[in-house]
Structure 1
């Protein structure tokens, strides 16, 4: 199946939709207990099960619409299924709460391995949408690697030290806002090392 360009707003809705629905659903059922097939489940665990189903559905739809999935999307899907499934099966909220930690650690370690090899693995997945000179890619990759490590530590601290309500808010808004603000804060690097593709050449 050929790679098909997808409307950015549709793509964003499919990627963020499950998170938004999880948050909204959790707000509604967080204080309830559900008796399902002879077992009691908290509202959080019920919404975790719903979240797993939503991630599978939206990822499958993304694949159907575009003909491909990024490594990040595949890794996210696998972690949600495994960690979310373990949470529901063992009735233990800790597994799904650790999912962001494992995801960000995986990203950080992958980028770190590339840096040790003198390469920017970030460039491999973002070069088409963000053309930069090699120096810019290395700077951005080093910063993003450190940032992912910081997010993993932050997630561990929040779920271990604060309430489930606090973690859901952090997962829904805090992590999303942190990623957005990170890339906004890198505007100077993006501007300085951007490759100008509109002009043929300024060199003689």
Structure 2
């Protein structure tokens, strides 16, 4: 039977696993390409004159960011025959807003991409809670198991955090230069996200539940 495009059940024996370092490279690679191309746009144009037709470094970076994102998604699909929902949604927004950036020659669109993605995730997570659904459990269930209260609290925190990132992106790109925004996107947003993720470990440990198989083994 054909594998679904989204992440499969982690308990499915047919599900392929990807090396954690390779997974990290696929997720962060496009962002690093974006940063490098913006910082070294003039250097790239000297060695690849065709890139000069695209325009300023930010537009070259946008084009390469789109290409790297498409390659990363394709590689993920080839390796595991599934696409994680969050990188997939983010990738779609990158391609749409990147295309608008290049077509209209307006960098505002690619700068708004993090705002749109983070707002979308935040609204979906908090909206799910409003209707009694802890949607984060469907995304992170393969990483750890929590009881209902744990998923509710973690979903609430991530929902608020995504909205915080959306507001933060708006403040940075509207208040500072393009180069500063690109650097902050890589060296600011990522560390903040990692710190927030690690800060959730006490909650995760508090509300973790043992798998049924492990419980049965312990009783025996």
Give the total of aligned pairs.
Answer: 203
For the pair 1:184 / 2:211, whether they are aligned, the reply is no
**Is 2:20 the partner of 1:8?**
yes
Offset of 1:92 from its aligned partner? 0.6
Q: Which moved more, 1:76-85 or 1:190-199?
A: 190-199
Tell me which residue corresponds to 1:50: 64
- Quote the offset at 1:73 in angstroms: 2.1
| Cα distance change, pair 107–40 in 1 and its aligned pair in 2 (3 A) | closer
Query: Any unmatched runs of 5+ in structure 2?
Result: 4-14
1:142-175 Cα shifts (integer Å, max 9, x gaps): 1111111110000000001111111011111211
Residue 43 and residue 114 in structure 1: after superposition, are their counterparts in 2 closer, same or farther (change >3 A)? same
Matches within 5 A, 1:94-113: 94-113=108-127
- 1:54-78 C-alpha deviation (Å, 9 max, x unpaired): 1111111111111011221221111
**Could you tell me whether the CA contact under 8 Å between 1:33 and 1:40 is conserved in 2?**
no
After TM superposition, give the deviation of residue 126 of structure 1 in Å: 1.1
Q: Does 2:182 correspond to 1:168?
A: yes
Aligned to 1:138: 152
Structure 1 gap ranges (5+):
none
What is the alpha-carbon distance in structure 2 between the residues aligned to residue 159 and residue 17 of structure 1? 22
Q: If the length of structure 2 is used for normalisation, what is the TM-score?
A: 0.85
- Residues 89, 186 of structure 1: CA spacing in aligned structure 2 closer, same or farther, 3 A cutoff? same
- What is the alpha-carbon root mean square deviation over aligned residues? 2.3
Task: Provide the residue aligned with 1:74 in structure 2.
Answer: 88
Structure 1 residues 196 and 9: alpha-carbon distance in aligned structure 2, compared to 1, 3 A threshold:
same
Kept in 2: contact 1:107–1:148 (CA 8 A): yes
User: SS of the residue aligned with 1:159?
Assistant: helix
